[in-house]
């Protein structure tokens, strides 16, 4: 995309005005060409700002090289700004963190881990999947040359497993997703066809339409064409169908839909970058250029007056404190960190910062000597749907048919298992092995080594993703305060902040606001 200065004034052309201008010149086909060539049809992050003009004296400091800080830096570089990014860690990405052999971290409170998986094995400890609707992040992948592959969010061979009296007769039984789908749809359709045949439904359909409906139900529900009964069939797997009442009692029907009413976790297809989610922040960093980012720069104070903003940071390698000044500072840090900084923001802003909460997310990657879920169970990607106290348990969507693999053994944010946060890592791993062995008895035999990430215990995050805030708080967080602006995912205006798409929405909002301000000054 090239930046076109359509306006001779210093005002910033909005995207709508820009497209209107193209339309006036070349009609709607020119507008559509512009849209498809940018691939910028609005997604949950809204539309990417189309800005032009270059302010004369606008030096910008971006605090934090997570997705929000990097997307902002990338857009500022395209507008020709003088900017610099300060990042406390020795890597980019923040919550976008791919764990490999050699990765280390020390939890707040003590325990140190070193990942020992073989080369080529990895786990995305934070962001791990991108719904196809997240056009903001997907378009950056395209623009920055980040290869994507399908993230398998559903595999028919994977299991449902529920324990406890509430699960009824199917408690403690592994039932394949494919069997659940066939048996529920088959039996529901059989009931519907019976009711139509018996004229017990008051249908607003002609006789011909009813016949078509019955034809659809028979085909979709795998019903016998003659007697219209549902029976198990070869491709469903061996054994008799499970009773509809038992499947419903066990709650197995609740994952049988792909269009999510809210945040897209059940959407298909989903994507992930080849080689791990870290490829996205790394690509942003390459595009921005290494000289624009200072690593190991732990910011501890942000002050401002009418002339400049001053940031003080500690170089964590040398222990020395340094200061930098700029015309503007955009704070792309987790607000859980901002709350503890010496930050010259108004009392209202700091109250909104402190009121923002972050998820208590944790993941455990289990390195396995053998891909038994593929070899023994024919499960290729997807998840285990269980009520075991391990949250989400998932199979890798990569490296199929190779020897070893990494299972996501534990991914949760709430529930009784969060008490594990205060337990030694060995105990957390033992917990995962004990529970997951109920479904996969091979777990202990094939287990090699684990890596656990509890985001509240990770320095420079101190929490998982930002929880959605009420509109009024988001409006407060997005206010420009003299020379300071917040730009991390918690301020996302359109989409939920618990996705990278939210971080991009927040970066775009900060970008527009900053550019308007800088062009006026």
Ligand X SMILES: Cc1cc2nc3c(=O)[nH]c(=O)nc-3n(C[C@H](O)[C@H](O)[C@H](O)COP(=O)(O)OP(=O)(O)OC[C@H]3O[C@@H](n4cnc5c(N)ncnc54)[C@H](O)[C@@H]3O)c2cc1C
| Binding-residue pattern over the window 10 to 49 for ligand X, x denoting contact by CB under 6 A | ----------------------------------------
Q: Which stretch binds ligand X (CB under 6 A): 93-101, 377-385, 401-409, 471-479?
A: 93-101
Among positions 279-318, residues that touch ligand X (CB under 6 A) are 297-299
The DSSP 8-state label assigned to residue 243 in this structure reads P
Rounded (10°) CA dihedral 321, 324, 328, 331: -20
Contact pick of 45, 62, 79, 95 for ligand X (by CB under 6 A): 95
Give the closest residue to 521 by CA, choosing from 69, 75, 12.
12
Give the DSSP letter of residue 468.
P
Nearest distance from C-beta of residue 369 to ligand X, angstroms: 26
CB of 26 to ligand X, least distance (A): 36
Between 332 and 366, CB nearer to ligand X: 332
Q: Which two tokens stand for residue 152?
A: 């398998």
- Containing 219, the helix (H) or strand (E) segment is helix 207-220
Q: Which stretch binds ligand X (CB under 6 A): 52-60, 115-123, 444-452, 501-509?
A: 501-509
Smallest gap from residue 119 Cβ to ligand X (A): 24
Instruction: Please say which residue, 390 or 503, places its beta carbon nearer to ligand X.
Output: 503
- Asked if 84 interacts with ligand X (CB under 6 A), we say no
- 362 to 401, contacts with ligand X by CB under 6 A? 363
Burial (0-12, 13-18, 19+ Cβ within 10 Å), 192: middle
Termini Cα distance of the chain:
27
Q: Is 450 in the site for ligand X (CB under 6 A)?
A: no
| Binding test (CB under 6 A) with ligand X, winner from 18, 128, 161, 284 | 128
Answer whether 382's CB lies under 8 Å from 392's CB: no
Q: Is 464 in the site for ligand X (CB under 6 A)?
A: yes
Pick the closer one to ligand X by CB: 109 or 441: 109
63 binds ligand X (CB under 6 A): yes
Gap between the Cα atoms of 182 and 154, Å rounded: 15
Sole window of 51-59, 82-90, 213-221, 473-481 interacting with ligand X (rule: CB under 6 A): 82-90
Shortest CB 491 distance to ligand X, Å: 9
The helix, strand and coil proportions of the chain, stated in percent and rounded to the nearest 5, come to 35, 20, 45
Q: Does 88 bind ligand X (CB under 6 A)?
A: yes
Q: Any contact of residue 489 with ligand X (CB under 6 A)? A: yes
Beta bridge partners of residue 391, listed in sequence order: 411
67 binds ligand X (CB under 6 A): yes
Which residue in 66, 382, 391, 405 binds ligand X (CB under 6 A)?
66
Q: DSSP string of 168-194?
A: GGGTT--EEHHHHHHHHHHHHHHHHHH
CA distance 354 to 369: 45
Q: Determine the size of the site formed for ligand X (CB under 6 A).
A: 42
Residue 499 interacts with ligand X (CB under 6 A)? Answer: yes
Name the residue nearer to ligand X (CB basis): 98 or 436: 98
3-state SS track over 15-78: HHHHHHHHHHHHHHHHHHHHHHHHCCCCECCECCCCCCCCCCCCEEEEECCEHHHHHHHHHHHH
Sheet containing 484-486: give its strands across. Answer: 293-294, 82-86, 59-63, 328-331, 484-486
Of the ranges 64-72, 113-121, 193-201, 255-263, which one interacts with ligand X (CB under 6 A)?
64-72
Binding site for ligand X (CB under 6 A): 63-69, 86-89, 94-96, 126-130, 297-299, 332-334, 337, 361, 363, 455, 460-461, 464-465, 488-489, 497-503
């Amino acid at each position: 995309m090239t930046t076109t200065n359509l306006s001779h004034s210093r005002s910033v052309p909005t995207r709508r005005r820009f497209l209107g201008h193209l339309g006036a010149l070349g009609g709607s086909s020119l507008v559509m060409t512009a849209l498809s060539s940018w691939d910028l049809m609005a997604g949950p992050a809204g539309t990417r700002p189309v800005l032009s003009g270059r302010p004369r004296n606008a030096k910008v400091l971006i605090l934090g090289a997570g997705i929000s800080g990097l997307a902002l830096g990338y857009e500022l570089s395209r507008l020709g700004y003088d900017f610099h990014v300060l990042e406390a860690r020795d890597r980019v990405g923040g919550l976008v963190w791919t764990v490999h052999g050699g990765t280390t971290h020390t939890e707040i409170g003590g325990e140190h881990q070193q990942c020992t998986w073989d080369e080529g094995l990895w786990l995305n400890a934070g962001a791990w999947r991108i719904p196809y609707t997240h056009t903001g992040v997907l378009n950056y992948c395209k623009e920055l040359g980040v290869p994507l592959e399908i993230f398998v969010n559903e595999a028919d061979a994977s299991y449902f497993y529920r324990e406890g009296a509430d699960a009824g007769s199917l408690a403690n039984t592994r039932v394949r997703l494919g069997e659940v789908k066939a048996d529920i749809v088959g039996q529901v359709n059989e009931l519907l066809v019976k009711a139509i045949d018996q004229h017990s439904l008051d249908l607003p359909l002609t006789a011909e339409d009813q016949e078509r409906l019955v034809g659809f139900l028979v085909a979709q529900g795998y019903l016998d064409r003659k007697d219209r009964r549902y029976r198990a069939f070869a491709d469903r797997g061996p054994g008799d169908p499970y009773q509809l009442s038992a499947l419903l009692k066990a709650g197995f029907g609740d994952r049988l839909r792909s269009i999510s009413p809210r945040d897209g976790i059940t959407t298909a297809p989903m994507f992930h970058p080849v080689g791990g989610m870290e490829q996205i922040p790394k690509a942003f960093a390459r595009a921005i250029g290494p000289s624009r980012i200072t690593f190991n720069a732990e910011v501890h104070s942000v002050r401002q007056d009418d002339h400049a903003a001053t940031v003080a940071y500690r170089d964590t390698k040398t222990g020395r404190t340094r200061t930098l000044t700029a015309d503007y500072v955009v704070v792309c840090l987790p607000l859980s960190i901002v709350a503890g900084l010496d930050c010259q923001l108004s009392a209202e802003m700091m109250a909104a910062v402190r009121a923002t909460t972050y998820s208590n997310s944790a993941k455990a990657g289990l390195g396995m000597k053998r891909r038994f879920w593929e070899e023994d169970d024919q499960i290729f990607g997807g998840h285990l749907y269980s009520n075991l106290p391990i949250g989400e348990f998932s199979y890798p969507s990569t490296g199929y048919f190779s020897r070893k693999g990494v299972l996501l053994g534990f991914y949760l944010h709430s529930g009784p298992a969060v008490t594990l946060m205060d337990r030694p890592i060995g105990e957390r791993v033992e917990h995962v092995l004990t529970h997951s062995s109920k479904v996969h008895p091979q777990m202990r035999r094939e287990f090699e080594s684990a890596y656990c990430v509890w985001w509240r215990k990770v320095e420079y995050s101190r929490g998982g993703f930002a929880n959605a805030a009420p509109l009024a708080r988001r409006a407060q967080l997005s206010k420009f305060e003299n020379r300071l602006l917040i730009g991390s995912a918690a301020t996302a205006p359109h989409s939920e902040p618990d996705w990278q798409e939210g971080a991009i929405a927040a970066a775009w909002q900060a970008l527009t606001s900053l550019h308007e301000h800088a062009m006026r000054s």
